[in-house]
């Protein structure tokens, strides 16, 4: 039995056999397999070799037809290596003799070959090393890609152990079979973490080397509450975890009655509790958990889960589905927030995402403003769907007032086009922005003159304020919503909104974390948008506290110098209000 501690990002306990996925761009850990599995590993190897050969042959033919035989000859070298019996034989023997996975055999044999090339006297041979690495990545991609594809039609329950998962991989997991997720990489608000939480899948990220500790098929417990992974648990541990899983289900059930009660503080102040979603089919759960609308619809997930760019009609139908599922409750549609870690396949194929600093690069509204057909298609689809229910449009990652003006102008152009074509759309659609860049928080007063509403996106606001990549496990301890600078920015935005009469909401993960509920209300927020599973718990806190109590907490919280002092103080105050609320939990944003 082995335990490892990581960053808990989605609560719940999962107990199931592991399904380990490697990353083709990461070192492949040495993992052994049972002798009975050797034939299956050899079959996987053969499949990957022939798929690679077919792919290279196609590339060779295409290159010969478009740029000539001479350049196409490069691929002849790759095909030659794949047909080299001594090389392929060495990989096969490694699997058979060392009882290792096909991935590790390919990785170690080709690494060895690459080293030999690098030590060669001939410059020609030394330069060929890049062909060896290229071939290695291609074969691994076939081996690993196939394993990833299998995830969407698993026959049995499993927990996924991976170096990292992209948001689109997480979005396409078969939720009925995947019981938990544990990854080497990732931080508290990486998009994979957010999605796992929204889907209700227990998840732990930032485990650093979990992929080299677990073999596919090993029994694993993922405790998404404490952030602990247990590999090959003993009988006692299994029993304890099963009890813990039952206890959590009972806790969930105990919150059932609160779902239908209003979100009002003890002294009668109403808090507008809405939900964050990625897909329209999450709306049912959100409403069941008491959401009064959708405060953040991350529309980019429609793109991330599709193979091709969704057409206007496909988008229209999806937005319509969301509006209909809401049955008159408001829907805040955030326009495409693609880029950074949310990379859409077509973008990467077009080479548009080769960015030195993806989070500071051409993502989100910036990408939309540089790709007007993409942006306008989405706006047309949203506007057309808006005849069927209350819709608000929200632009993400605004950092400069000119971007907002430009986005609004494009929205007006799209409306004019629709009018000219006699296509109906909803009237007086409110337009707002995400406040997730410090420049906008500091200029909130100016922005208030040009928006109908604002929503604070603390997931990004934190990373841009404290210069910490939200998905980087190595600096995760520096990423905190309790940082005094972050709290000051939230306060500035809330005050500006109050003065200008502009609604300010908060839709970052901080709103879903119970330790921040009193602070956020105390800072003046009256609208929160939350991941659906967290709605009952946050409502429970709201119903237990008074506005005066929250204001006192906020006034005290801004006097501390460090995030640690603030975090301790907040946990203390919320625990006093609701004893036991943090039992066994170590989630904190």
Asked if residue 451 lies in contact with residue 433, where contact means CB atoms within 8 angstroms, the answer is: yes
Asked if residue 329 lies in contact with residue 293, where contact means CB atoms within 8 angstroms, the answer is: yes
Q: Measured between alpha carbons, how far is 463 from 444 in angstroms, rounded to an integer?
A: 18
Under rule CB under 6 A, residue 481 binds ligand PEP: no
| Cβ 502 to Mg ion shortest distance, Å | 20
Stretch that binds Mg ion, among 71-79, 157-165, 430-438, 469-477 (CB under 5 A): 430-438
Q: Measured between alpha carbons, how far is 433 from 258 in angstroms, rounded to an integer?
A: 31
**Active-site residue, 191 included:** yes
Residue selected from 293, 295, 457, 522 as contacting ligand PEP according to rule CB under 6 A: 457
Binding-residue pattern over the window 412 to 441 for ligand PEP, x denoting contact by CB under 6 A? ------------------------x-----
- Tokens representing 173? 């997991």
Binding-site partner at residue 299 among ligand PEP, Mg ion, none, CB < 5 to 8 Å by type: none
**Nearest CA among 145, 147, 142 for reference residue 216:** 147
| Cβ 458 to ligand PEP shortest distance, Å | 5
Beta strands across the sheet bearing 2-5: 2-5, 228-231, 219-223, 13-21, 158-162, 178-183, 203-205, 7-10
Q: Measured between alpha carbons, how far is 332 from 277 in angstroms, rounded to an integer?
A: 10
Under rule CB under 6 A, residue 298 binds ligand PEP: yes
Under rule CB under 6 A, residue 398 binds ligand PEP: no
Q: Measured between alpha carbons, how far is 325 from 283 in angstroms, rounded to an integer?
A: 7
- The b-or-e profile of 81-97 (16+ CB within 10 A means b, else e) is bbeeeebbebbbebbee
Strands 527-530 and 2-5, sheet pairing = unpaired
Stretch that binds Mg ion, among 125-133, 248-256, 352-360, 457-465 (CB under 5 A): 457-465
Candidate list 362, 368, 507, 550, residue with the active-site label: 507
Under rule CB under 6 A, residue 337 binds ligand PEP: yes
Q: Measured between alpha carbons, how far is 323 from 207 in angstroms, rounded to an integer?
A: 39
Report the phi/psi class of residue 291: left, alpha or beta, with left for phi > 0 and alpha for psi in -120 to 50: beta
Residues 436 to 455 in contact with Mg ion, rule: CB under 5 A: 436
**Active-site residue, 362 included:** no
Under rule CB under 6 A, residue 114 binds ligand PEP: no
Residues 258 to 297 in contact with ligand PEP, rule: CB under 6 A: 296
Strand partners, 270: 264
Candidate list 78, 142, 163, 191, residue with the active-site label: 191
CB under 8 Å to 239, separation ≥6 — which residues?
none
| Cβ 437 to ligand PEP shortest distance, Å | 10
Under rule CB under 6 A, residue 508 binds ligand PEP: yes
CA-based end-to-end distance of the chain = 30
The smaller minimum CB distance to ligand PEP, of residues 167 and 389, is found at 167
Under rule CB under 5 A, residue 460 binds Mg ion: yes
Residue nearest to Mg ion (CB): 460
The smaller minimum CB distance to ligand PEP, of residues 100 and 181, is found at 181
User: Vertex 512, ends 466 and 268: CA angle to 5°?
Assistant: 120
The smaller minimum CB distance to Mg ion, of residues 300 and 460, is found at 460
Under rule CB under 5 A, residue 300 binds Mg ion: no
Strands 219-223 and 13-21, sheet pairing = antiparallel
Binding-site partner at residue 437 among Mg ion, ligand PEP, none, CB < 5 to 8 Å by type: none
Residues 184 to 203 in contact with ligand PEP, rule: CB under 6 A: 194
Size of the site for ligand PEP (CB under 6 A): 11
Under rule CB under 6 A, residue 6 binds ligand PEP: no
Cβ neighbours of 35 (radius 10 Å): 9
Under rule CB under 5 A, residue 469 binds Mg ion: no
Under rule CB under 5 A, residue 457 binds Mg ion: yes
Q: Measured between alpha carbons, how far is 432 from 454 in angstroms, rounded to an integer?
A: 5
Q: Which residues form the interface with Mg ion (CB under 5 A)?
A: 436, 457, 460
Q: Which residues are catalytic?
A: 191, 507
Q: Which residues form the interface with ligand PEP (CB under 6 A)?
A: 194, 296, 298, 337, 436, 457-460, 507-508
């Amino acid at each position: 039995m082995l335990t490892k501690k990581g960053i808990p990002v989605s609560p719940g306990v999962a107990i199931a056999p592991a399904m380990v996925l490697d990353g083709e761009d990461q070192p492949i850990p040495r993992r052994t397999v049972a002798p009975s599995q050797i034939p299956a590993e050899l079959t996987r190897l053969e499949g990957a070799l022939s798929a690679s050969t077919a792919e290279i042959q196609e590339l060779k033919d295409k290159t010969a037809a478009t740029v000539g035989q001479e350049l196409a000859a490069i691929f002849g070298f790759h095909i030659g290596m794949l047909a080299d019996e001594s090389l392929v034989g060495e990989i096969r023997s490694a699997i058979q003799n060392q009882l290792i996975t096909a991935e590790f055999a390919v990785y170690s044999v080709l690494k060895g070959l690459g080293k030999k090339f690098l030590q060669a006297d001939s410059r020609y041979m030394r330069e060929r090393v890049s062909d060896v690495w290229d071939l290695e990545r291609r074969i691994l991609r076939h081996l690993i890609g196939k394993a990833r594809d299998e995830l969407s039609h698993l026959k049995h329950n499993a927990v996924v152990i991976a170096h990292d998962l992209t948001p689109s991989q997480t979005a396409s997991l078969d939720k009925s079979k995947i019981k938990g997720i544990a990854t080497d990489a990732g931080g508290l608000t990486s998009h994979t973490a957010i999605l796992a939480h929204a889907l209700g899948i227990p998840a732990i990220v930032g485990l650093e080397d979990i992929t080299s500790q677990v073999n596919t098929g090993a029994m694993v417990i993922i405790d998404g509450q404490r952030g602990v992974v247990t590999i090959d648990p003993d009988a006692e541990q299994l029993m304890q975890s099963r009890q813990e899983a039952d206890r959590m289900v009972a806790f969930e059930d105990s919150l059932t009655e609160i779902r239908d009660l209003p979100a009002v503080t003890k002294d009668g102040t109403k808090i507008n509790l809405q939900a964050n979603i990625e897909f329209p089919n999450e709306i049912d759960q959100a409403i069941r958990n008491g959401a009064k609308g959708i405060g953040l619809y991350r529309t980019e997930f429609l793109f991330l889960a599709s193979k091709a760019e969704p057409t206007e009609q496909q988008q229209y139908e999806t937005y319509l589905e969301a509006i209909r599922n809401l049955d008159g409750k408001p829907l805040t549609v955030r326009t495409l927030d693609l880029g950074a870690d949310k990379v859409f396949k077509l973008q990467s194929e077009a080479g548009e995402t080769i960015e030195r600093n993806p989070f500071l690069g051409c993502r989100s509204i910036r990408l939309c403003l540089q790709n007007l057909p993409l942006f306008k298609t989405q706006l047309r689809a949203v506007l057309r769907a808006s005849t069927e229910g209350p819709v608000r449009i929200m632009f993400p990652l605004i950092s400069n007032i000119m971007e907002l003006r430009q986005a609004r102008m494009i929205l007006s152009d799209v409306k004019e086009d629709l009018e000219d074509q006699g296509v109906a759309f909803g009237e007086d659609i409110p337009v707002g922005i995400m406040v997730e860049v410090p420049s906008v928080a500091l200029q909130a007063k100016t922005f208030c003159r040009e928006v109908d509403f604002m929503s604070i996106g603390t997931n990004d606001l934190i990373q841009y304020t404290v210069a910490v990549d939200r998905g980087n496990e190595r600096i995760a301890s520096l990423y905190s919503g309790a940082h005094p600078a972050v709290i000051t920015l939230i306060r500035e935005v809330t005050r500006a909104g109050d003065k200008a009469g502009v609604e300010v909401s908060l839709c970052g993960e901080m709103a879903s974390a119970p330790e921040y509920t009193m602070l956020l209300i105390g800072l003046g927020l009256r609208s929160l948008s939350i991941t659906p599973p967290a709605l009952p718990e946050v409502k429970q806190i709201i119903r237990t506290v008074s506005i005066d109590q929250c204001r006192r907490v906020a006034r005290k919280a801004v006097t501390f110098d460090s995030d640690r002092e603030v975090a301790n103080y907040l946990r203390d105050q919320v625990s006093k209000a609701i004893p036991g609320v943090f039992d066994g939990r170590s989630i904190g944003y």
